[in-house]
Each structure stands twice: as C-alpha cells, then as structure tokens.
Amino acid sequence: MTEDKKISKATIRRLPLYYRELQKIESAGLLEVSSIYLSEKLGIKPEQIRKDLITFGSFGIKGLGFEVSELKNKIANILGLQNNFRLAIIGVGNLGAALANYEKISELGFVVAALFDIDKNKIGKEINGVRIYDFAKFIPISRRKLIDIGVIAVPNSEAQKVADILAEAEVRGIWNFTTEKLNVPYFVTVVNEDLSIGLNTLSFYMNQNS
C-alpha cells in the first residue's frame, strides 16, 4: 500500500471523523451520502472532503455522492481498523482511567485488552470490565493477551523504562502521552500525544479574534 504513504497528516486526522459519521449514516440505513451532507455534519468544507476522499481512489462521483459502506470500509482499511489492534494501557492514574473509559477507542474497533500499574492498591481491580495487572508481569501477560499497542500514561520519568519493556515484549506500537522523546527499536511505531495542542489552537484563534 505504498500509495497511501502520500496521504497528508491532516487528511489522516480527518479520516476517523469521516469513518465515525459514516458509521452513523450506515446505522440509519442510508446507502449514499454527499460531500455536502458530510460537510454540514462535520464542519469541514465539501471541497476538502472530496479532496481527502479522492486521495485513495475515485470512489464517489461528484454530484452523485459516495456509497456509504464502500467508503466506510475503505477508510477502515486505510486506517488499519480492520486489524482490531489490541491495547494495553500502562499507568492507571486519571489519564489512564479516562482512556480506559473512552468510548471512541472501542467504537473504532480497538480493543482495550489489559491495564497495568505498579500500585498494589490498583492491581486486581477493573475499569470498564478490563483488569489492572502488575506491570512487573507485563511481558508474559502482553504475549498472552496479544497486545499490539502500548499506551504510555505514566510520569515522564518512567516513560523510557516502560518503552524498553514494551519493545522487549515486541509490542509494535506506542501511543505516548508523556513528553519524553522515546528511543525504540525499528519495529516499534511511536505516536506522541500532546493534550495541550488543542488548547493552543484555541488560544491562537481567540487571539486572532480579539
């Protein structure tokens, strides 16, 4: 799928929005959807939507709309959602717990398969039906639970240590909520999350409007 490598980061960020809207439209029993409709629902310009969706093939004809399930499945395929990647969340503080409860993760086909912490008061408990395990046992449990992605929600000072253990367990993806720049082997893909970016975007626009 080398062609997909050309998709811009901005487009990748919009694909889940399309996917989720298409899920709703499909559940409502509709078979076709126009870029105008998607535009109204998502607040994205119709030209942008057509441009995004045309990137990966000319399904959808201008004026006739897109075939809902075909488009939905194509996006799922591009985003890798059909893999049903299995997540482990490491660090069950407020952030880890919020992620364990975050509905969109499962709506998109990801499976939160295990939680890990080092706090003995948390180990053995459950959040949203998922058990908290001792992080000291990460490697065997991760293999048993077929973990694909480790979500690092620990303090910065622990982040690299956690990443080393995830790599040792051959976890292929890391979703990093710390500000540490992680060193990982070639087979591990890292995406750094920064919750403050949205806030900066907001203050940028507020600053423009003042």
Q: Of 102 and 145, which CB lies nearer to its own copies in the complex structure? A: 102
From residue 157 to residue 176, what is the string marking binding to its own copies with x (rule CB under 8 A)?
Answer: ---------------xxxx-
With contact defined as beta carbons under 8 Å apart, do 49 and 35 qualify? yes
DSSP conformational letter for 65: B
DSSP 3-state of 52: helix
205 binds its own copies (CB under 8 A): yes
90 binds its own copies (CB under 8 A): no
Bridge pairing between strands 66-67 and 32-33: antiparallel
Bridge pairing between strands 130-134 and 126-127: antiparallel
Q: Report the nearest approach of its own copies to the CB of residue 32 (Å).
A: 22
Q: Of 31 and 54, which CB lies nearer to its own copies in the complex structure? A: 54
Residue tagged 């058990």 (tokens)? 131
DSSP conformational letter for 118: S
Q: Which residues contact 157 (CB under 8 A, 6 or more apart)?
A: none
121 binds its own copies (CB under 8 A): no
26 binds its own copies (CB under 8 A): no
4 binds its own copies (CB under 8 A): yes
193 binds its own copies (CB under 8 A): yes
Q: Strands, E, within the chain: which ranges? A: 32-33, 66-67, 86-90, 111-117, 126-127, 130-134, 149-152, 173-176, 189-192
148 binds its own copies (CB under 8 A): yes
Q: Report the nearest approach of its own copies to the CB of residue 87 (Å).
A: 8
47 binds its own copies (CB under 8 A): no
Q: Please report, as ranges, the residues that interact with its own copies according to CB under 8 A.
A: 1, 4-5, 7, 9-10, 12-13, 15-17, 20, 41-43, 78-81, 83, 85, 93-95, 97-99, 101-102, 104-105, 108, 110, 148-149, 172-175, 179, 181, 189-210
